[in-house]
Each structure stands twice: as C-alpha cells, then as structure tokens.
Structure 1
C-alpha cells in the first residue's frame, strides 16, 4: 500500500549510481487513516511529475564498493534516486524490464509490496514519463498463469492484481514475469521477477508523471522477498534521501556494513506489514514533550514509510509538538501558508540558507525504546514556503482520530536508513546523502579528489573552486567595499551536450530568470563531457553600462543556485550546482579609472572651441556683409541693394 499524499505545492540530484528496479504484488490492500479536515491528507498519491534523468550517468567511481561485513557474501544493487519530496511528493528510481530492456521510473515506496508499470494493453493509463511496457517486444516475458493461489482473469488465464488507495486511486492489471535489470553500477546481475502489468489506473495514479510504483514492503511478491528467496542478496536494503531543495539520493538492495555511530531500533514484522519502529519520546530543544509513551504505540505503532511525504502524529502528540515549536520560534513571524486550502503553520524571517536554519528553529530528538535517539535538524520537520522567500512551514500534521504515527520521507532527509529485515531492526545515520559514498567507509577506492587536484576533469575544464557559499574575505576586501565584476558558475547536467544543444537558448533564459537578470547577461563559456552527462561553465555579467554587481546581489545569486531551486523542463533532466568563482573589478591606475572623464572633458573643450570659432566666423561674415551694401534709403521706393 502506498502512503503518499497529494503534493499541491510545487517548488534541481545527484548522487550515485543508476537506478533500476522491479517487483510484484501481494499487499494487504489495507489503508491507513486520513487526517482531520483542514490538514494535509496522509495517503494520496502524488500529483506532480518526476524529473527525468539519464540513468546511465555515473556520479561515483566504479572502483568504489561499499564495505560489506565478513558474513555477507552476496552482491548488492546500488542505485540512484531522483526527484524531491517538495517538488514531486516522492522519490523515484530507474529499473529496466525485458529483453531488450525497457526503462521505467518508479516511485520508491516502503509502504507497498506490489510493483507495477503501465502495459501496452492498458485501456485507461495516463501519460507518464516513459512509454508503456511492451510484453510482445520482450523475448523473455512470460505471463503468470492462473493457480489456486491468485485471482484469475479467466479470458487470459492469467493472474491479476488490484490495488486501491485511500484517496480512491486504483491500479489493476495482470501479473507477468520477466528479466529485471538494476543498472550498470550494480553488482547484482539481472534477475527474473514477477511484477504487475497495468491495464487500468485511476485518480492520482493516472495523473502522476512517474510510471508506476516500486514496492519495498514485506510480502511474497515484494522485490526484496523475491531476490532474498533466490539468495542473490542478503535480507536488507538502504535508502538515503537528499536534503531540502536538493533531492535525489541513493538506494542499496542488499546489506552493507553500518557506520559505527548508526542508531538502531527494533522493527517487529509480526505487528503489521509496514516497517514500524519503537518510538517512545520526542524532545524539542532538549525538553521532553509531556506525553505518555503509549501515544506512539497505537494501532500500527510508529510506521516509517518512504512513500509518505510528511509526518503525521496522533492528535495529542501533534498539539504538544506544535506548541513546543512555536514557543521556541517566538522571534519569527507567523504567516499564512502557501495554499489557502490548508491551515499550515508557517514562519518568516529565518533566511534562505538551509544550513543556518538551526539558528532559528530547535533541534528535535526522537528517542527509541533502547534509549538511543535520532536528532532531527529543521529540514527534517520543515518544508519551504513557496510564496515567501526565507519562510518555512511545519511538515508535521495531525493524524486526526487515527492513533498511528506515520513518519514520511521528510523525517529522513539527509539520513541513511538501513532496513535490516534479517535482524528485525532499522538503523539511522545522519549524513549528507549527496556525499554518501565518500562518507561511508569504502574499500579499494582512492580518497576523494580535491577540486584543485591535478587530473580531475573539473579542474582541467574549469578554474572556479567549489564553495558552499561565497566569502568576501577571499578577496581581501572589507565587506562594504566588495564589488564583483563577473560571476562564473559551474553546473553539471545529466544530459549530454548534444542533447542539451537544442535547448541552450531556453536554458540561458531559465538561468537568467532564476538569477533575476537579463538573458544578455548570461553566457555559456564552454561544455565538457561528464560520463553521459555534461559539465558547463557560465559567465554572469552586470547589466549593460554597469561595471559590477553589488556584494548582496552576487551573494544572493550564488545562494539561489546552490539551493537548486531552478525548475527545469523534462527535456533538460536535472542539474547540480558544482562551484562558483566571483571576480572583483581589476585594480586600475589613475588614468584607467579616469580616462573616460578626461576624454569627455577634452571632447567637451574641443566642442566648445569649435562652437566659439563658428560663432566668431559668423559674426565676421555678417560684419563684412554690412560694409558691402548701401543702406536702404527709405525715401527711394523699391530701390534694390546693389554692390558697390
């Protein structure tokens, strides 16, 4: 069952390997609660599109391999995640089905066990990111024939599946079996697996941009259960969601050695089909909420679900949490939310730099049954207000009368989550998911190269150093005197230059619009290859007849790009801001500084001289003319002036 919500707000990913994926059916079809009216619904599948990516782009060295424990002998499937919670409401991964392989973008959902893609025979399927699956074009496709264990399409004599979701979206079709591929960065070879081939979809499933759902839940037809049953991977998988405004991330099917400081909690598979954890307390700014620990243990308990966008607490827990947050943010201004249909709790005045949010918002701790705790930064419970710059809204809502605590993807931004099904526990490790492979212990791999190291493609192609935020001190100038003559930015795209070339004008306009400058101020300097993607260098210049940007303007531009807020059309895929270089005006001599003034003065002097000379000549000619003619004798009628 998918626990996703409609994402009514719309707001570019980058790490790791390629993604591919597939699964089958077998979910209970049970639906978790809907929250009270006026809060965001907990279970509606997303409405907004995913950002397509060239999944063959490699963002890490193929020599690098995650360290596996001595007891683990199985390979793993390392895959890349795409999209973003705020923009799309979900994360997707890539998987290939059939021979020859057909590609699909599937929503990663730990709350569902069924995996399905639109089939060529679908009578009512929406327009999605990729073409429908063509069973007739696959040499290895086989229908799953009817048995006593499945619902049967008597006409086709083929097993069927049907799924209904809380907001009344539905998916139904037949079951098929084919070769599933996981990408060229995966150690796991292609495997045969069962999946759903859609013949009908309704509601948000029909309108979403992603092709289908990839179920990671527990169940006989789950992709995890199928691969574990084949003994090709160990019984564990991991997800790492990118941070606020960045998105993307990584996924690993199979076990990896956990970091030493990973925090674990028990997960009871017998309690429900969902991944639950033993949450006992919540602390805000170091103070425990005055709640009975049993409040987090109702119905399904505390459920961790990657397909849910936000977090939902039982009513009493939500009210206590909301009050604690509001008391600790008294210096911020309370404002209305971005969508009038929801009574969102929003604050302005925190600034646009996500890394500085902890100065305005408190740390939240989740304490588990063993006393271990997971600290949540503000990006783990806030989402960005899309209509007010520097404003944020609470991404935690009431679950109404339902006692279940539901923790969605927002809670695990920039957190590696290990679902160790074999040992019935779930681990959490706070990290930067954009640098996951570098931050994990990696065997047989060289240390990460510095941007200035010799031999790196970035340094050879471009000069700017990678910097998280510009600093006036690097120019050895006081802040108030800093002037910037030009800005050079380095951006990678997951499409090649040949694919990008027809859209250069459009891309230039998008960058200009994001930076609030004219298109004439944005110049593409050069492009180089980066795997199957491209690395581009752009020059941003001041407005015509201006010599420099102000410090505030330049810093604002860098901040906007570094927060990855630029919206790209599907044809351009996704991007990553890699670095910047701002150059102050060159120091000039007295003559270089004032040559224009001197030139104008000289020119003005010449013009005045010429003008004076002209006046003199006119006066002299007039004097000569007056001496050359007799004055008119008024007594003589019609007497003409005659020369002497």
Structure 2
C-alpha cells in the first residue's frame, strides 16, 4: 500500500497508519508478535508417555487402545464422506500415547495434553470456579485466574471453523456473544464449551521462554463419553490437535515458525519411560543439522474427504530386498476417500489394508529363521521364540522396507515391528486393518521409534531420518 502525504493531511495520514497497524494485529496477530518469537528457530515441548510400561510390552492394552482409535479414525472418514464437513474428530483420546507439557494463560498454568496428529482441535478441561484454592493445580485450566483469557466472538472467523452445539444461536446485538463449540469424537464422546483465545508459554531452542498470544482453543466445561472420562484418559487435561486443519496447533503457529513440526519418539518400553520431544518450527540446531541433511522426504498426499490426516504414498514393499507382488491400487486413495496410508502418532501398532497385509505377513513368515509359536499372542499373527542371544535373534528376523513416493525409502530396524510381548517371545507388531470396506493403512508410533519425523506443510511433505532422540 502506498500513502501520499500532504502537509495539511499529516495527522490524518498518521491516524490511518495507526488504524492499519491495529487492524493487522486484530486480524493477523502473527504479524504483531514480539521480535523474540521471530528470532526463535523452533519451540521445544516435552513428550511424556501416557503411562509407564515395563518390558515386556503390554500388548493387550495397546491392541485395545488401537482398536478403539481406529474405529474413531474410520468413523471420521465415514462422517466426512457423508457430511463433507470436519464435524467429527479423528482422535480417540484414550489411545493417545504421548502427553505434551503445555502452559497456558497469564500467569501460565501447567497442563498435560494428548499429542495427536489425527485431530485438529486444541482443547483443555476448564473450571469456572471463583475460589479455586480447593482445586489441585494442573487438574484443569482456571480462566478466571488468567488476565489474557478472551472468548472468540460468535461472528468471528475463528468461530466459523468449529462445530457448534445444536440449536445454538449467535446474538448479533450483544458485544460479548461467545463462540460455543461442541466437538464429537468417533466413539461419540463429546467435549464442549467456549472457543477462546489465550497466551501459550513455550520453551525455545535457546532455552528461553516465548509467549504466543491469541492461540485459539476450546475451553471445555463439559466432557462425556468413555474416551474423555474413562481410565484411558487419566492424567490428561485435554488434547493438542496437530492435524492439517486450520484450527490445529501446528497450523495456528505455522506462519510464525515455518509451517513445520517434528518429533522423535524414544522406545517407551523402557522403564522408567524416557522423555521424547515435540519440536515446532524449523529446527536448525547444530546437532540436528546432520539429521536434516540426510533426511528423506516423501510428498504428502491430499484427501479432500479427510483433510486432517497426514497421508503418504507407498509404492512398493520389500522383505530382505525382495519386492512383494502388491497391487499399487491398494495404496491409492479412491473417489470415496478410502485407502491411502496415514502417519499417526496416536496409534501404537501398524495396520495395513488387504491384500497388502497378507502379502507382508506371508513374506515375513517365509523369511523368519527362529522357531515359530503355533499360537499367536494377543491376537497377533506371527510370534517367534527369541530366547536366544538378542543380537542373534535380530539377525535372524527379516528386514521390512517401504519404498515411498519421491524415492524415499523407510527401512525401520527390526525392533520397531518385532516386539517382545513376553519373556523370550517376539511378535509382529502389525495387524490387518479391518475397516469393513472403508478406511486406510496406518504407520503407528512403534514403527516410527528412533526416527526424527518432520511434517513440512508449507512444502507439503514428510521427512524422516534415523536419530538418537535423547540427544535432540
């Protein structure tokens, strides 16, 4: 914009500049952040495993969680096909495996949120108490104790991005007509409350703190359903949606931090559970530069009927270097939004649609050089006696490789898909994706362990590189 100044109109011109500046701050708050946030390379958040698991791996719990989650993910896909609107979240909160250490409000209140790449909404459990001294700190967010709390107006653009309770109306005559939201999960659990704005306080790459204003989130005063009230949600105060939709935490911070986020998941069968990290922004720390230089990238695929998920393209699969005869159409996304492969942080095992799963299973069975167990463990299809020396056992298990779009090759170590489920017993941590004619394949978080995964939405790609996660 070019402004022409006239001596008699100088005051008017200055007034116009002030109006333009505050308009930018109102409608594009990212442009008005402090210089500290602009200089920050990336933000670093702790990722804590939801519950401490000891080895052997508690496979029954993982399968139970995954089954619930996949039903929710597939329900999301079906709902979007029918309604063509993102009214159902892709998260099944109880099965989220990692919690983010999150601070929100002024002064900051510390909460634990489920980190979930399969949903968009950020929401926290809120309490409307006036005298909150009787409530334990960290049990909920107390908006009355925050000087930066503000509700989005029901006619704001932000409010148009969330689903609302049935029959809710916006009163255009009221200055403070709050935006009400109602978020329904695949198992029909519901979080509802006020869609609001707050200041989030996060660690930066230099170890300092940065205050990010005007983060939109759900201040949830009501929650119902097994996913949000049962034991699987214990310890969590809400969810941090990291999906591709406009209201996700990653999308809201996109323009501020390079439209990128990364995570590196450590082996959570170790006891006590180690800390992993979620990195928001362009991580150019010195000790990460070699990882990014050697990172393999594959393009993100788009599914208009399921825009939340991070789809990647698998072209071929090989076992010990031999390509499997899997029809490429298995990996394609059809006109109804079915098919494709999703990278998901909240699913433990990996799931593959037919006939890909059967082909992978048969190839691994032929290559296994350890004694087979006639009966699988916990409904897993391939279990072996691995009581011999650990190094020898790994050497006698076949190597699985995924050849992806763009020439990227993902070849995880054997321990990422043959896991110990009992003393001396290893099982294949994969299952058939039984979607009843719909759904997609899923690369779960066990398969992702020990890799730095970078989600670059600006260039529409996902990168991965082997990493020592606790060194990041």
Q: TM-score higher than 0.5 here?
A: yes
1:196 to 206, 218, 221: 218
Alignment partners' CA distance in 2, 1:369 and 1:139: 48
Is structure 2 residue 287 aligned with structure 1 residue 252?
Answer: no
1:179 to 199, 213, 223: 199
Alignment partners' CA distance in 2, 1:129 and 1:109: 24
Alignment partner, residue 307 of structure 1? 346
- SS of residue matched to 1:267: strand
Alignment partner, residue 232 of structure 1? 256
Alignment partner, residue 116 of structure 1? 123
1:147 to 152, 155, 159: 155
Alignment partners' CA distance in 2, 1:183 and 1:111: 24
Alignment partners' CA distance in 2, 1:128 and 1:164: 27
Structure 1 or 2, whichever has the larger Rg, is 1
> In angstroms, what is the RMSD of aligned CA positions?
2.9
Shift of 1:142: 1.1
Alignment partners' CA distance in 2, 1:408 and 1:265: 17
Is structure 2 residue 340 aligned with structure 1 residue 326?
Answer: no
Alignment partners' CA distance in 1, 2:42 and 2:277: 13
Cα distance, 1:194–1:296 mapped onto 2, change above 3 Å: same
Alignment partners' CA distance in 2, 1:166 and 1:398: 20
Is structure 2 residue 386 aligned with structure 1 residue 350?
Answer: yes
Alignment partner, residue 332 of structure 2? 297
Shift of 1:273: 2.9
Alignment partners' CA distance in 2, 1:240 and 1:146: 38
1:223 to 238, 241, 249: 249
Alignment partners' CA distance in 2, 1:238 and 1:177: 24
Shift of 1:76: 1.0
TM-score by length of 2: 0.68
Alignment of 1:146-545 (within 5 A): 146-147=154-155, 149-150=159-160, 151=164, 157-183=177-203, 186=207, 189-192=210-213, 193-198=215-220, 199-207=222-230, 208-209=233-234, 210-228=236-254, 231-243=255-267, 245-246=269-270, 247-257=274-284, 259-269=292-302, 271=304, 272-298=307-333, 299=338, 301-334=340-373, 336-339=375-378, 343-351=379-387, 357-385=393-421, 388-400=422-434, 401-402=437-438, 404-435=440-471, 437=472
Shift of 1:336: 4.2
Cα distance, 1:166–1:129 mapped onto 2, change above 3 Å: farther
Shift of 1:129: 10
Cα distance, 1:267–1:327 mapped onto 2, change above 3 Å: same
- SS of residue matched to 1:294: helix
Cα distance, 1:380–1:180 mapped onto 2, change above 3 Å: same
Does structure 2 conserve the Cα–Cα contact (< 8 Å) formed by 1:335 and 1:345? no
Cα distance, 1:129–1:280 mapped onto 2, change above 3 Å: farther
- SS of residue matched to 1:92: strand
| Structure 1 unpaired stretches of 5+ | 1-71, 438-644
Shift of 1:379: 2.5
Alignment partner, residue 92 of structure 2? none
Shift of 1:325: 1.6
Alignment partner, residue 132 of structure 2? none
- Higher RCO (C-alpha 8 Å, min separation 6): 2
Shift of 1:166: 2.7
Cα distance, 1:145–1:232 mapped onto 2, change above 3 Å: same
Alignment partners' CA distance in 2, 1:389 and 1:411: 21
| Structure 2 unpaired stretches of 5+ | 1-37, 63-94, 130-134, 285-290
Alignment partner, residue 93 of structure 1? 100
Alignment partners' CA distance in 2, 1:73 and 1:278: 35
CA deviations 1:312-344 (Å, max 9, x no partner) are 1112111111111222225223254554xxx22
Alignment partners' CA distance in 2, 1:74 and 1:268: 29
